[in-house]
């Protein structure tokens, strides 16, 4: 396991979505004691660190990303004592713990916002958020044209009074990061969790804290998940210069603690050169590589984004990260089962075109093996080691993602990738908890993917992940150097140290170099020892 101050540079970090990982008390909601009990399985899998999505007190209008108290634990998930035990147990197992921090907005239930609602315009309480008078007769029109990422206006009016900004759900008012009290509060929050032993923070919407001072109108569709033009100035609500001063202050706090504490940016920023500015030596340590996640299953385009990612991060001395799935996107075992390059709205519903499940898993296994051979740090999302697909037939009545309602049901939302994961095929809730309760219904097919159906089963997706993580560590791939081999328009092939990674994107099998000793394959080779379509091979040459 990594032991140096720079453990994060080549780490494999596993994302846990607490609601859906493990339920200890049978109420249908995952919790911190459930996570703690399952940590040995993650140690056996071979990851280096665990990132926890929010577990703070929250009304749960956006699955915990609407935080009411940054120094507590929601009773649904346990207590501060449970958090302390989780951190201690993880460290005893050699695992690092990263927690989510949501600084762009609070919950509307937060004590600060409740005070703002009861205060007058221009009061100190309202200055912590972004309140403005409206336009038009009687101030009846929003202050500007900004739209919420979840659909509709980004402004909500108080009865007969001012408007407040919410770039996400109406229950998530944006903080005013030009206010010194906001900055001081979050420095204290960082210290609170660092003192409890956490090893780092994943920073939600890291590119959104500072807004254009003039709140300039912006008429393009609102999105935080990419899609913005890389050329030209950033939108007035994203990637403003002032965010970098904030993260320099945060970095100074973390550098005062031992053990290599880290900051990880969720920053949907284009191009990669602008994203790299978040990971300069005095700012954050890592940033999620969303351009890589969004790249279609095409060798030339994958090679291009790998090259540009490595070059941009190298220019500031940072490590590159790689990711294929998380709690905000369609799981890659389903995403890769659609025709290559086919545009779709977020989420998949029962009435939408369905992915090819077999093809999706085949490509997902190949994509994972390709990703884990790259130098840098890799992020895994809970359940992908089981080959879990998206829940594409979730009944609309169960949907909780605010994007579902705010988009007028045009977007299915993110619930399909957040369904509780299966541990035991024949247990209640497939081992998620001790009862059949599950906050989102699990599909019957989950039994086929349960962990106990895959452990020690040659060729299972779980054993592929476990073998790949062990070989990745043995061959020091995370700290290696990539060198491209001879490739064609249908093959992607590179060396990292003594390992050759080759992925066949074409329809016909391809041969391996003479004398290659195969270490691992995402699917079996053909009878002649050639690499079939949509298969990745690791070999020593």
Q: Just list the catalytic residues.
A: 204, 266
How far apart, in Å, are the Cα atoms of 86 and each of 36, 97, 380, 392?
5, 9, 19, 32
CB 503 within 8 A of CB 363: no
| Distance of alpha carbon 291 from alpha carbon 414, whole angstroms | 19
DSSP 3-state of 499: strand
In 3D, which of 104, 284, 60 has the Cα closest to residue 210?
104
Phi and psi at residue 472, in whole multiples of 5°?
Answer: -60, -45
Phi and psi at residue 58, in whole multiples of 5°?
Answer: -165, 145
CB 421 within 8 A of CB 35: no
What is the biggest distance separating any 2 CA atoms in the chain, rounded to whole angstroms?
Answer: 79
Helical (H) or strand (E) element with 455: none
DSSP 3-state of 378: strand
Q: Which two tokens stand for residue 103?
A: 């600084």
For Cα atoms 529, 477, 268, give the angle at the middle one, nearest 5 degrees. 110
Residue 49 bridge partners (DSSP): 13, 96
Under 8 Å CB-to-CB from 399, ≥6 apart: which residues?
A: 412, 413, 415
DSSP 3-state of 434: coil
Buried b (16+ CB within 10 A) or exposed e, 183-210: bebbeebbeebbeebbbbbbbbbbbbbb
């Amino acid at each position: 396991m990594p032991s140096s101050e720079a453990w994060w540079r080549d780490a494999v970090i596993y994302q846990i979505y607490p609601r859906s990982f493990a339920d200890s008390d049978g109420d249908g909601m995952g919790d911190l004691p459930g996570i703690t009990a399952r940590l040995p399985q993650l140690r056996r899998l071979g990851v280096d660190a665990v990132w926890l999505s929010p577990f703070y007190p929250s009304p749960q209008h956006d699955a915990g990303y609407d935080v009411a108290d940054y120094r507590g634990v929601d009773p649904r998930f346990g207590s501060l004592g449970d958090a302390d035990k989780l951190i201690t147990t993880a460290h005893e197992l050699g695992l690092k713990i990263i927690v989510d921090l949501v600084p762009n907005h609070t919950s509307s239930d937060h004590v600060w916002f409740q005070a703002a609602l009861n205060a007058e315009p221009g009061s100190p309480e309202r200055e912590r958020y972004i309140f403005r008078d409206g336009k038009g007769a009687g101030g009846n029109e929003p202050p500007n044209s900004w739209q919420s990422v979840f659909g509709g206006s980004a402004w909500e009016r108080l009865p007969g009074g001012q408007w407040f900004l919410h770039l996400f759900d109406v229950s998530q008012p944006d903080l005013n990061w030009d206010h010194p009290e906001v900055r001081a509060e979050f420095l204290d929050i960082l210290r609170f969790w660092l003192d409890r032993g956490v090893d780092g923070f994943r920073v939600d919407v890291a590119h959104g804290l500072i807004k254009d001072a003039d709140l300039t109108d912006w008429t393009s569709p609102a999105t935080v998940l990419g899609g913005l033009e890389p050329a030209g100035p950033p939108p007035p609500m994203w990637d403003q210069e002032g965010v970098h001063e904030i993260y320099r202050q945060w970095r100074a706090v973390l550098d005062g603690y031992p053990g290599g504490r880290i900051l990880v940016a969720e920053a949907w920023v284009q191009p990669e050169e602008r994203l790299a500015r978040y990971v300069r030596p005095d700012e954050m340590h890592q940033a999620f590589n969303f351009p890589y996640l969004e790249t279609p299953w095409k060798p030339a385009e994958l090679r291009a984004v790998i090259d540009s990612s490595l070059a941009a991060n190298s220019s500031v001395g940072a490590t590159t990260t790689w990711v294929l799935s998380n709690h905000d996107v369609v799981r890659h075992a389903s995403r890769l089962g659609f025709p290559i390059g086919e545009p779709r709205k977020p989420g998949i519903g029962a009435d939408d075109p369905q992915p090819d499940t077999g093809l999706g898993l085949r490509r997902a296994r190949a994509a994972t093996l390709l990703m884990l051979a790259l130098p840098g740090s890799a992020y895994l999302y809970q359940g992908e080691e089981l080959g879990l697909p998206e829940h594409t037939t979730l009944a609309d009545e169960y949907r909780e993602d605010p994007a579902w309602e705010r988009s007028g049901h045009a977007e299915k939302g993110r619930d399909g990738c957040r369904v509780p994961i299966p541990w035991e095929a024949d247990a209640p809730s497939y081992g998620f908890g001790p009862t059949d309760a599950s906050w989102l219904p699990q599909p019957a097919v989950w039994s086929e993917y349960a962990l106990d159906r895959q452990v020690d089963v040659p060729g299972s997706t779980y054993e592929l992940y476990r073998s790949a993580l062990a070989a990745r560590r043995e061959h020091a791939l995370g700290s290696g150097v990539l060198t491209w081999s001879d490739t064609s328009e249908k093959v992607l092939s590179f060396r990292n140290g003594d390992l050759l990674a080759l992925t066949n994107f074409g329809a016909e099998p391809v041969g391996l170099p003479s004398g290659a000793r195969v270490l691992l394959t995402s699917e079996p080779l053909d009878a002649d020892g050639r690499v079939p379509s949509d298969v990745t091979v690791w070999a020593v040459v």
